[in-house]
Structure 1
């Protein structure tokens, strides 16, 4: 487990790298510091701002959203301010970065189809599927529901359902990896 102090240190190192990079191209580079840290079940959320703001409290538009430091492997990620304020980053982080299962509209559809099949029969479940997803032919809907009731729906048909029901992650709301936990363990540093 990554402790709070280690998370702060990782972000401070990244802020220094960013400062040096900006300093190389502009004399107006602004130093930044960690303002506060929030504990989350998956990550440490590390907020940062300019040194001047930290000292004076005078508003200065600088930066984006916070850094996320993975509490398991120490990976360093960044998210935008809108994603940070709305929590939109969480499902993306769980699924894409941690590889954890996340419920989607496909899971809800599967639950509904199984419930209809249990109470009204397989053909009612097929009709329900075709009403919700008219893209399926009757034969595909029968194949889908039959396979679902026996265990798993065919991957090719699940891909169609996913495309129709699950909105892709807006890149502006996604968590972007700055440095993976594996790279940190290997002693690598980003070249940003």
Structure 2
């Protein structure tokens, strides 16, 4: 488990590295760090702003660094992703490998309920209404798979592509150094 002082040190080392590479045009320092369920959220700002509190030295548009509390991995997110909370789902899925319920899971529940309540053909109709990209034979195979041995992977890929929006790179967590 990574403690607060280690998280701050990890970010300070990254700021030193970026400064040496001239990634940031100004002297950046750690302003605050807050514990989150998954990470240490480490906010940075310019040294000039911390000294003077003059808004002229305040940088805007950047989000915090995230230090994984389990493995010390270093990540960053943009300001919009941070403010909206979009980063957390991306972090849970891509970085931590947690399963998150999607529209595909919801569809599976609806189709199973339709099979149980009205039968296979109404379930196939429901599936084709929700995912018009599936032809009749594919929809039949999908419903049969949900009721039995599992849906063929290529059909799950079609449904996922149709129902689950890809990760917006603006909202994504950027890994700087894996833990």
Residue matched to 2:89: 91
Deviation for aligned residue 1:62 = 5.1
Question: In the alignment, which of 81, 104, 107 is matched to residue 105 of structure 2?
Answer: 107
Deviation for aligned residue 1:147 = 0.4
Q: Quote the Cα distance in structure 2 between the aligned partners of 1:61 and 1:88.
A: 22
Q: Could you list the runs of 4 or more consecutive aligned residues of structure 1 that deviate by over 6 angstroms after TM superposition?
A: none
Q: Quote the Cα distance in structure 1 between the aligned partners of 2:104 and 2:61.
A: 36
The Cα offsets for residues 25-71 of structure 1, whole Å up to 9 and x where unpaired, read as xxx93211111112111111111000111122222225611111001
Q: Structure 2: any 5+ residue segments left out of the alignment?
A: none
The Cα offsets for residues 152-178 of structure 1, whole Å up to 9 and x where unpaired, read as 211100000011001000111111111
Residue matched to 2:69: 71
Q: Give SS of 1:173's match.
A: coil
Q: Structure 1: any 5+ residue segments left out of the alignment?
A: 182-192
TM-score, normalised to structure 2, is: 0.93
Conserved 8 A contact 1:38-1:44: yes
Are 2:12 and 1:12 equivalent residues in the alignment?
yes
Moved more, 3-12 or 57-66: 57-66
TM-score, normalised to structure 1, is: 0.87
Are 2:22 and 1:22 equivalent residues in the alignment?
yes
Conserved 8 A contact 1:88-1:173: yes
Deviation for aligned residue 1:82 = 0.5
The residue correspondences of 1:15-164 to structure 2 (distance < 5 A) are 15-22=15-22, 29-59=25-55, 60-61=58-59, 64-164=62-162
Residue matched to 2:168: 170
